[in-house]
Amino acid sequence: MTVLRISRIVEKTKVEGPGLRYAVWVQGCPIRCAGCFNPHTWEMDGGEIRDIDEIVSDIQAVRNTSPELEGVTFLGGEPFSQAYELSVLAKEVKEMKLSVVTFSGYEYDTIRKSGHHGWQQLLKETDLLIDGPYIQSQHDLSRPWTGSRNQQYRFLTDRYKELEARLPAIANKIEIQLHADGTITANGMAQLADLELLLGLGYERKEDKK
């Protein structure tokens, strides 16, 4: 049985990569960028343990009700800290003819040149990699799905190659969800001041951005 330590799953989102996506935020990050949007995902022993077969079944169920589901996105935390486990999940995802988008605070060359088998397996299953640490002094939300100017798009397969020329025209967006217990969660990209305004100070807030 292969398991993942995750922080959060959003079953349907349109702001974490191309099209409608199933997004998995993994728990645990050794990089811990200054100004990180998701410090609650840093602790390696936080979050919850989920069986990969259970997640695969969940993705299939979402696809059955939403056939427009485009793919799955891995965020964090740091996905490459659980690279082998995510590669197992990604392989199942690709067999469903869905795409895989992976975010990483590691740079592409570091991943590519690594002898780490799990890293290479996850890279092999990834269609679009968005790589590089968040650098606070280079904060920039003008491009989709990235938080700082240094971060790069790596089109590792032809799946999204046509997007490369259209990236400047794709706007960042956020999604707000009101839950039954009265809490509000947000994911996507927005200026912090905008999130404060949208979420208000009277609610428990959980920001899930890259």
What pLDDT shows up at residue 21? 98
Confidence of residue 203 (pLDDT cuts 50, 70, 90): very low
Q: Residue 178: how many CA atoms within 13 Å on its side-chain side?
A: 5
Confidence of residue 204 (pLDDT cuts 50, 70, 90): very low
- Distance (Å, rounded) from C-alpha 31 to C-alpha 28? 9
**pLDDT at residue 155 greater than cutoff 90:** yes
118-136: average pLDDT: 97
Residue 205 has pLDDT above 50, yes or no: no
Q: Lowest mean pLDDT: which of 30-44, 46-60, 77-91, 186-200?
A: 186-200
Residue 179: which pLDDT band, with cuts at 50, 70 and 90?
Answer: low
Please report the pLDDT score of residue 171 as a whole number.
76
Residue 35: per-residue pLDDT: 87
Beta strands in 76-197 (DSSP E): 99-104, 128-131, 152-155, 174-178, 184-188
Side-chain-side CA neighbours of residue 46 (13 Å): 16
Does the model's pTM come out above 0.75?
yes
CATH architecture of the domain covering 3-170:
Alpha-Beta Barrel (3.20)
How far from 100 is each of 31, 169, 181, CA to CA, in Å?
22, 22, 32
Q: Work out the average pLDDT over 22-49.
A: 94
Calculate the alpha carbon distances from 176 to 7, 134, 138, 145, 162 in Å. Answer: 18, 23, 26, 16, 29
For 175, residues 6+ apart whose C-beta sits below 8 A from its C-beta are 10, 13, 14, 15, 186, 187, 188
The DSSP letter of residue 209 is -
pLDDT of residue 45: 93
Residue ranges of the domains in the chain? 3-170
Mean pLDDT, range 10-31, rounded to an integer? 96
